[in-house]
Amino acid sequence: MDTTVEFKIQVGLELVQQYGKDKIEKIIQDYLNLAIIKLAKQELLDDLKTIDITDKQWLNAREKAWTEYGSKYLFKVSA
């Protein structure tokens, strides 16, 4: 089963001649990657709207995560 969708993008010949096909393809791919990241961020933000941070289960999970992984985010400074 093919899980890809093909889109057709038309680019003016003048642009291709000026910048080259490979460079234009890279720019389009980079742009699409940024768009995918933006969509994923929006999904995360939408999910955050449904989280009740006063919920006891959420608070327990947060405390457990901090206990297990908090040391990765703390830095000791010695004088």
Query: What pLDDT score does 34 carry?
Result: 95
- DSSP letter string, 13-77: HHHHHHH-HHHHHHHHHHHHHHHHHHHHHHHHHHHHTT--TT-HHHHHHHHHHHHHHGGGG----
**Cβ-contact 15, 24 below 8 angstroms:** yes
pLDDT in tens, 7-28: 899 999 999 999 999 999 999 9
Residue spans of the domains in the chain: they are: 13-72
The more confident residue out of 71 and 18 is 18
- Between the alpha carbon of residue 53 and those of residues 58, 70, 73, the distances in Å are 6, 18, 21
